[in-house]
Amino acid sequence: MRRRIASFTSLLFIFSLLLAACGQGGSTSGSGNSGISQQGLSGGNPYINCPSSTNTTAAAPESGQITLTVSGWSSTPAEDALVQQNLQNFEKLHPNIKVNWSPIPGDYPTKMRANVASNTVPDVFYLQPAMSAEYVSSGKLLNLSPYMARDNVKASDYYSTLLNPFVCTSGQVYGLPKDWNSLGVFYNKQMFQAAGLPTPSAGWTWTDLQNDAQKLTKNPGTPHSVYGVVLSADASRWGAFLEQAGGSVLNKDGTKAAFNSPQGVQALEFYDSFFKNNTGALPTTVGAPWNGDAFGKQRAAMVFEGGWLIPYMTTTYPNVQYGIAPLPIGPTGKPANLSFTNAWAAYSGTKHPEAAWELIKYMAGPVVQESNLNAGFALPTLKSLANSPYFSSHPDLKVLFDAASYSYADYYGPQDTAIHTDLSNAIQEVLLNKESVQTALSNAETQVNTQLQGG
Amino acid sequence: MAQVQARPQATAQAIGKAPHMRREARLNWWQIIVYLLLGVFTVTSLGPLVFTLISSFKTMQDVLAFPPSLLPNPWVWTNYTEILDNAYFLRWILNALIYAGGATVLNVIFSAMAGYALSRMNFKGREVIFTVTLAVMMIPLAITLIPKFLVANTLHINNTYFALILPAMAQPFTVFIMVQFMKTLPKELEESAMIDGASRFRMFFQVILPLVKPALTVVAILTFQGAWNDFQWPLVALGTQDMYTLPLGLFFFKSAHYTEYNLLLAGSMFNILPMLILFFIFQRYFMGGALGSAVKG
Amino acid sequence: MLSQTTLVAQVFQVYRWEGVSFMAAQPAKSSLAPASLVGAVGEKRARRDAGTPSARRRGETLTAYLFLTPYLFVLLVFFALVSVYGVGLSLFTVDLGFTPPQFVGLHNYQVLFSQLFTNPSLSPFWISLVNVIKFTAIVVTGQTILALILALLLQTLVRGKGIFRTAFYIPALTSSVATALIFLWLYNPDGLINYLLSLLHISGPDWLNDPFWALPALMILNIWTTAASFMIYFLAALQDLPREILEAAEVDGANRFQILWRVTIPLLRPTIFLVVALGTIGAFQMFDQAKFMTNGGPLNSTLTPMLEIYNAAFNDSRFGSAAAMSVILFIIIFAVTILQRRFIDVSPQG
């Protein structure tokens, strides 16, 4: 799961066609091209152009022996075993379909791109949001909406924030989210106890966070320092605070940067306040490569990370007692968070589209998602699993899951990676005291707008 | 080539006795300073590598200890065992050996062949080919990296050994070395063989090749070193972990293991040691070889 | 691989232009005569042979090309074709497999240059050029001076030359990745380098995470790796200095420093040019450490053009733009090398 974060904050990004005045911003639900019945996401995704031609009907089921090549990645051997188990269960349910699972280690998007270039694309594969715009707009993916309509799989079954990155302007669905993650506040129980502070809980605010950080910081600037928070200069963390302040990264149709606003300034000043007050530091300051490691080394009382930190703590720092709380509430009074997800998608040129759909339907369906949840691997993307029994025994995960209804996808269209990089650089400049908040945001705005215009 | 080197040394010896002796008596204190400075630089040259070797036997905590410890405490072999347990690690070494070995063997043969043709045969197009050889040597990697990738893609050899070995199996620079070296051999050699009715191939393999052994050794070493340490082209041309060469594997090893320095230090030793061994065996050729003599004349 | 071979090759090409044999790395003629004599004689004979019946020549041609076939394949496909392709690619928008390539003429160049004139500090490519110019200037100066000093010191030794030479050369053998890995560890805020500095009561910075110190850290690393290789060139050249001139200077009463400055170094100018040119061409194309150790950060302070080209091509799939950047980089390297030849080298008339 940590991979997903690595991929979002890494340098992977797609260069695609200019956003034309394609979509009218999505009107009614369901109706796609020329009135043919499809199941889509109402509101569409203004960031992603629909392909010029795509399938609008569902292919008929095939008989006879079919082999599907399936590709993705696995962060751990245990995760890999689970995927294979689920694929085998699918084979039992569909005796005429054989599945070849061939995960790609290393740089997934680059290898997939090489596959596209050499025309050796797997039938079914994982789709990262950063890959989404390029693949969707160039028509490389199978349009799933006709199949969803045929089999009564509704777009509304899934949380819209999670489905959104895989949908194009007119609402056609090209990938079904298989799992996701959000950010939570990981807090060190012992430190809170020792300081006599109540642990963070739902409804706590930005001010509470700042006060707690103040009281929990000890010996800042020394080799034995412990900071209230350890933060990284990462747009995939700060973005949550931007949303909490009521701002957003891009404007509604994704044509201009929108973060250089009073809300953006407020959010960045808040993020920087920990550094200015010496109650927060970068992970490298405390000798850790990332926030999670700083938390494990107990040099941080709190960090903002996602569910991927849980297995890391269990394997590397099992003795630290911690809890997970929702992110604090900002000036708007409404909670906000970021969501990170990946989807199952199919190649538009697959010889077995119907079988590919069956596989996607199963792997992104309730049975597999519940089994993944029960194995502690991932959060489900289906609304129907919101009250799954697993959550009652794992309240920490529930905290993360609850953010589904108020999360924003950490995804910004074809220039996604460039936008992340520009924002992260701006944040870093501010945290390192190289620029003022206004200048940094203004510079980043210029850069992002240039990239959005295809420069 | 042997002829050429002898003369300056002879001259020096003939002239240099007196001043040399003068120097010795006068500059003892100077020599001490020199040895000291050189000693310091030796420490900075070898220090990091020696320290790495020693530290590859430390545990993770020990590696990151501050202040850094000199000797491992405790001394562990686990870094090496863990690395070798990695399914891909030995494969990476094998891939690097195939690449370096294949490229070396082929490049030695093909460069010699091409060098022979260009230096000792007269034929239409010889000057053109030689000029093109010199011209392409000048072009920086920058411009060729991506087109090479695209060409390899078109030939469908990406992520195969072919992608690594084909571009390296005959290199302009080594051809150039062979040309210059072979030019110095007397023409008479072939004249007599031709009178005896030998074919060009026979002449090449039986007469010329044995005489250019030093140059061949240099070409072999340069090719092997280049291929063994090559990072950028494999990074671009290879896609799946099972095809990576060792430098590339170490790179991905780093992110996969949250920078477990102890393992990575051990891993880098596998990269360094073979070159060191090769170096000590062929030391003479490494530094006294074509590079040095080519510069001197 | 290519970096080392290409590097040494550059200068030979440079010498070839003047029509001078590559062996003329130094102005003194003494050691040249035998080699060029053999070559000249060989050439004359070859020309005489050329008058033989065309049948024999045609047979020669066939044989020659048989010898040349493997090399010609590589030369044409992976060097010549690829270079032309590279320049041509810069005139297109290419993303390899998703959309068909589009001819855009000089658009890629226009975009880059308009960034230069409106807002260069926000353009990764121009930032990377500034970085690499800083890097090259300091690294080349540092390693040339260091190499020269080491060679001069080593030259004065009676014994132990070989051992020191071997010891110094060892860092040059290690692969860039292994070296980068080792220094990544050494440059840790709590690592060996800062520890040694602390012994001198200097508090070392967080080298690789500080936007100010990251590039200097890489500079030091590069000087460390390559100084000794260039020392070899100087050693070879020093050994071949004409004794007569040095003797004459001593007899005239010049002291050590005067001899060094007025006689030795001017005599070494061709070798200095060799080392500076090779160093420059190599430094301008620095990639491995930037990619492996810092990935261009922090805040793009270690972003080099090669890394930006790589990112544009393989992360953004902007192959056309990447090719345009390559062409610009090539032109700059070319121009700098020509300038260096003009100012440092001696024209080989003597």
Three-state SS letters, chain A: CHHHHHHHHCCCCCCCCCCCCCCCCCCCCCECHHHCECCCCCCCCCCCCCCCCCCCCCCCCCCCCEEEEEECCCCCHHHHHHHHHHHHHHHHHCCCEEEEECCCCCCHHHHHHHHHHCCCCCCEEEECHHHHHHHHHCCCECCCHHHHHHCCCCHHHECHHHHHHHECCCCCECCEEEEEEEEEEEEEHHHHHHCCCCCCCCCCEHHHHHHHHHHHCECCCCCCCEEEEECCCCHHHHHHHHHHCCCCCECCCCCCECCCCHHHHHHHHHHHHHHHCCCEECHHHHCCCCHHHHHHCCCEEEEEEECCHHHHHHHHCCCCCEEEECCCECCCCCCCEEEEEEEEEEECCCCCHHHHHHHHHHHCCHHHHHHHHHCCCCECCEHHHCCCHHHHHCHHHHHHHHHHHHEEECCCCCCHHHHHHHHHHHHHHHHCCCCCHHHHHHHHHHHHHHHHCCC
Backbone φ and ψ for C310, nearest 5 degrees, come out as -60, -45
Nearest CA in chain A to C321: A455
List C-alpha distances in Å: A119 to A102, C95, C171: 16, 14, 43
Give residues with Cβ within 8 angstroms of C140, minimum separation 6: C276, C279, C280, C283
Burial class (CB in 10 A: 0-12, 13-18, 19+), C199: exposed
Q: What is the pLDDT of residue B27?
A: 58
Mean pLDDT for chain B overall: 78
List C-alpha distances in Å: A286 to A5, A223, A266: 21, 8, 27
Q: What is the pLDDT of residue A437?
A: 95
Distance from CA of C189 to the nearest CA of A (A): 7
* A289–B258 CB contact, under 8 Å: yes
Lowest mean pLDDT among A62-66, A432-436, B246-250: B246-250
- pLDDT category at C12 given cuts 50, 70, 90 is very low
Distance from CA of B251 to the nearest CA of C (A): 7
Neighbours of chain B (3+ CB pairs under 8 A): A, C
List C-alpha distances in Å: B258 to A3, A5, B157, B264: 11, 14, 32, 11
CATH number of the domain encompassing residue A436: 3.40.190.10
- Give the CA-trace dihedral at C117, C121, C126, C129, to 10 degrees: 130
Please indicate, yes or no, whether residues A361 and A227 belong to a single structural domain of this protein.
no
Q: Does C26 touch chain B (CB under 8 A)?
A: yes
Residue A296 lies in a domain: yes
Concatenating the DSSP letter of every residue in B119-144 gives HH---TTHHHHHHHHHHHHHS-HHHH
What pLDDT digit, counting tens, does each position of A239-254 carry?
A: 999 999 999 999 988 8
Q: What is the pLDDT of residue C202?
A: 84
Please indicate, yes or no, whether residues A172 and A199 belong to a single structural domain of this protein.
no
Lowest mean pLDDT among A266-275, C90-99, C109-118, C320-329: C90-99
pLDDT surpassing 50 at residue A1: no
Please indicate, yes or no, whether residues A354 and A393 belong to a single structural domain of this protein.
yes
A326: left (phi over 0), alpha (psi -120 to 50) or beta: beta
Q: What gap in Å lies between CA B199 and CA B217, rounded to an integer?
A: 25
* A6–B255 CB contact, under 8 Å: yes
User: Taking the domains of chain C in order of start, what are their residue ranges?
Assistant: 2-344
Residue A9 lies in a domain: no
Q: What gap in Å lies between CA A325 and CA A318, rounded to an integer?
A: 19
Please indicate, yes or no, whether residues A259 and A309 belong to a single structural domain of this protein.
yes
The residue segments making up the domain with residue A101 are 62-180+340-408
Please indicate, yes or no, whether residues A244 and A133 belong to a single structural domain of this protein.
no
Q: Does A33 touch chain C (CB under 8 A)?
A: no
111-170 of A, contacting C, C-beta below 8 A: 113, 116-119, 134-135, 138, 140
Q: Does A11 touch chain C (CB under 8 A)?
A: yes
Q: What is the pLDDT of residue C35?
A: 33
CA C258 to centroid of chain Cα atoms? 31
For chain A, how many structural domains are there in total?
Answer: 2
Distance from CA of C269 to the nearest CA of A (A): 43
* A14–C317 CB contact, under 8 Å: yes
What pLDDT digit, counting tens, does each position of A388-417 carry?
A: 999 988 888 899 999 988 999 999 988 888
* C189–A284 CB contact, under 8 Å: yes
What pLDDT digit, counting tens, does each position of A346-359 carry?
A: 999 999 999 999 99
Residue A112 lies in a domain: yes
Peptide bond into B67 cis (omega under 30): yes
Q: What gap in Å lies between CA B147 and CA B153, rounded to an integer?
A: 9
Distance from CA of B288 to the nearest CA of A (A): 42
* C330–B139 CB contact, under 8 Å: yes
Rounded average pLDDT over C146-159: 86
Rounded average pLDDT over C245-267: 81
Q: Does C193 touch chain B (CB under 8 A)?
A: no
Q: Which residues of A touch B153 (CB under 8 A)?
A: 114, 117-118
**What percent of chain A has a predicted confidence (pLDDT) above 70?**
90
Predicted complex ipTM exceeds 0.90: no
Task: Report the SS3 class of residue B231.
Answer: coil
Per-residue pLDDT of chain B (297 residues; tens, 9 = 90+): 333 333 444 444 434 444 444 445 455 788 888 888 888 888 888 888 888 888 888 887 777 776 677 788 888 888 888 888 877 888 899 999 999 999 999 999 999 999 999 988 888 888 889 888 877 776 767 778 878 888 888 888 888 899 999 999 999 888 988 888 888 788 887 788 778 877 888 888 888 888 888 888 888 888 998 899 888 888 888 877 778 888 887 776 665 445 677 788 888 888 888 888 888 887 766 655 444 444 433
- Write out the residues of chain C at the interface with chain A, using a CB-CB cutoff of 8 A: 95-99, 111, 115, 119, 122, 188-190, 206, 209, 211, 295, 298-300, 311, 314-318
Residue A17 lies in a domain: no
Residue A33 lies in a domain: no
Distance from CA of A291 to the nearest CA of B (A): 12
Q: Which among A119, A287, A432 is the nearest to C211, CB-wise?
A: A432
Mean pLDDT for chain A overall: 85
Q: What gap in Å lies between CA A271 and CA A279, rounded to an integer?
A: 11
Q: Which among A106, A111, A114 is the nearest to B252, CB-wise?
A: A106
Please indicate, yes or no, whether residues A330 and A201 belong to a single structural domain of this protein.
yes
Q: What gap in Å lies between CA B144 and CA B17, rounded to an integer?
A: 53
Residue A447 lies in a domain: yes
For chains A and C, CB pairs below 8 A equal: 63
Q: What gap in Å lies between CA C79 and CA B171, rounded to an integer?
A: 9
Burial class (CB in 10 A: 0-12, 13-18, 19+), A33: middle
Residue A38 lies in a domain: no
Q: Which helix (H) or strand (E) holds C236?
A: helix C214-239
List C-alpha distances in Å: B141 to A192, B106, B107, C75, C326: 56, 22, 19, 14, 9
Q: What is the pLDDT of residue A295?
A: 93
Distance from CA of A177 to the nearest CA of C (A): 23
Q: What gap in Å lies between CA C92 and CA C104, rounded to an integer?
A: 5
List C-alpha distances in Å: C318 to B81, B141, C95, C131, C321: 42, 18, 6, 22, 6
Please indicate, yes or no, whether residues A250 and A301 belong to a single structural domain of this protein.
yes
Q: What is the pLDDT of residue B262?
A: 79
Q: What is the pLDDT of residue A241?
A: 96
Please indicate, yes or no, whether residues A229 and A270 belong to a single structural domain of this protein.
yes
Residue A365 lies in a domain: yes
Q: What gap in Å lies between CA A443 and CA A220, rounded to an integer?
A: 31
Q: What is the pLDDT of residue C251?
A: 82
Query: Which pair of structure tokens corresponds to residue A236?
Result: 């995939």
| Amino acid identity, position A119 | N
Distance from CA of B50 to the nearest CA of C (A): 11
Q: Which residues of C touch B233 (CB under 8 A)?
A: 1-2
Q: What gap in Å lies between CA C105 and CA C93, rounded to an integer?
A: 9
The whole-model pTM stands at: 0.77
Q: Which among A11, A285, A432 is the nearest to C315, CB-wise?
A: A11
Distance from CA of C127 to the nearest CA of B (A): 17
Q: What is the pLDDT of residue B98?
A: 94
Please indicate, yes or no, whether residues A394 and A430 belong to a single structural domain of this protein.
no
For chains A and B, CB pairs below 8 A equal: 25
Q: What gap in Å lies between CA C117 and CA A190, rounded to an integer?
A: 56
* A417–C317 CB contact, under 8 Å: no
Q: What gap in Å lies between CA B184 and CA A176, rounded to an integer?
A: 70
Q: What is the pLDDT of residue B217?
A: 84
**Beta-sheet pairing, A322-325 with A300-306:** unpaired
Q: Which of B145, B204, B230, B278 to mutate to test the interface with C (most CBs of C within 10 A)?
A: B145
11-50 of B, contacting C, C-beta below 8 A: 11-12, 15-16, 19, 24, 27, 30-31, 34-35, 37-38, 41-42, 44-46, 48-49
Please indicate, yes or no, whether residues A205 and A302 belong to a single structural domain of this protein.
yes
Backbone φ and ψ for A305, nearest 5 degrees, come out as -140, 175
Please indicate, yes or no, whether residues A92 and A115 belong to a single structural domain of this protein.
yes
pLDDT surpassing 60 at residue A455: no
- Torsion sign over Cα C202, C208, C209, C215: positive
- pLDDT category at C58 given cuts 50, 70, 90 is low
Most confident stretch, A156-165, B273-282, C232-241: A156-165
Q: Does B258 touch chain A (CB under 8 A)?
A: yes
Q: Which residues of A touch B258 (CB under 8 A)?
A: 289, 293
DSSP C100: -
pLDDT surpassing 80 at residue A25: no
225-284 of C, contacting B, C-beta below 8 A: 228, 232-233, 235-237, 239-240, 243-244, 247, 250, 271, 274, 281, 284
Distance from CA of C134 to the nearest CA of B (A): 19
Please indicate, yes or no, whether residues A281 and A216 belong to a single structural domain of this protein.
yes
Q: Which residues of A touch C112 (CB under 8 A)?
A: none
| Amino acid identity, position B65 | A
Determine the topology of domain C2-344 in CATH: MetI-like fold (1.10.3720)
